[in-house]
Amino acid sequence: MVRRRTRRPARGRRGHRLRRQRERHHPRRPYRGSTNSAGEWGHTTVQAGGRRCRCGARGCLEAYVGAEAVLERFRQARRGRTTPGADNESTFAALLTAADTSSAAQRVLEEAAVYLGAGIANLVNLFNPQRIILGGWAGLLFGARMLPRIRETVAAQALRQPYAHTTIGLCRLGPHAVALGAATVPVGRFLTEDAHRPARRPATAPDER
């Protein structure tokens, strides 16, 4: 009979030390940068000297693929005529519907897909991710129609090796995934940090000393 050796997770102080070492080498925390401002992907430059972004710089990705920017491009393409809609979300949905028959809407969406694809290609080359998910109400509306074109652009722009191991899809958690993700941060901290701290001893009453 062959006895199979199984590796049990270390417990106690040794287990805690090993977990800390593992986290140091393979941190599962988001990268925040030195002043917590990392990850501003929307404000990376995709067109030097390009359109003015709300951050004050020119040529940011957001100035080309943000919902408000895309709607503004469509308004310009229609020589100032606005698209019907009670808010940005319904107006954006109307723009996507208009693309069935309007060549101006098609051009605006095509341009946004190419810029978004270029931005994602930058992410692929920088971070070599396994999966990229488009989310938020605008990302879901836009991706539902333009995902094939976005993937095409990423394939053309990204390095072949990292792109071959990356999938690009739509978020399945609905339009409020960002809020859900934010809510998991304190829960994750509680589970990974507080759970490993030794339980506090109850305060000793004076008459127990």
CB of 43 to Zn ion, least distance (A): 4
What is the three-class DSSP state of 133? strand
DSSP code string of 167-181: EEEE-SS-TTHHHHH
Interacting span for Zn ion (CB under 5 A) from 19-27, 42-50, 134-142, 169-177: 42-50
Residue 10 CA from chain centroid, whole number = 35
CB of 66 to Zn ion, least distance (A): 9
CB of 67 to Zn ion, least distance (A): 15
> At which residue do the structure tokens 């990423």 appear?
154
User: For residues 84 and 59, what is the distance between their CA atoms, to the nearest angstrom?
Assistant: 28
Please, which of residues 52-81 interact with Zn ion by CB under 5 A?
A: 53, 55, 57, 60
| Residue placing its CB nearer to Zn ion in the complex, 56 or 148 | 56
What is the three-class DSSP state of 60? strand
User: For residues 14 and 37, what is the distance between their CA atoms, to the nearest angstrom?
Assistant: 35
Sole binder of Zn ion in the list 19, 43, 78, 145 (CB under 5 A): 43
Candidates 40, 86, 48, 85; CA nearest to 66 is: 40
CA dist 7 to 18, 21, 70, 79, 199, Å? 14, 18, 55, 69, 27
| Residue placing its CB nearer to Zn ion in the complex, 60 or 116 | 60
| Residue placing its CB nearer to Zn ion in the complex, 60 or 108 | 60
Does position 109 interact with Zn ion (CB under 5 A)? The reply is no
CB of 82 to Zn ion, least distance (A): 24
Interacting span for Zn ion (CB under 5 A) from 50-58, 106-114, 125-133, 191-199: 50-58
| Residue placing its CB nearer to Zn ion in the complex, 62 or 92 | 62
CB of 111 to Zn ion, least distance (A): 18
Angle at 62 between CA 59 and CA 64, to 5 degrees: 65
CB of 51 to Zn ion, least distance (A): 10
Q: Which residues bind Zn ion (CB under 5 A)?
A: 43, 53, 55, 57, 60
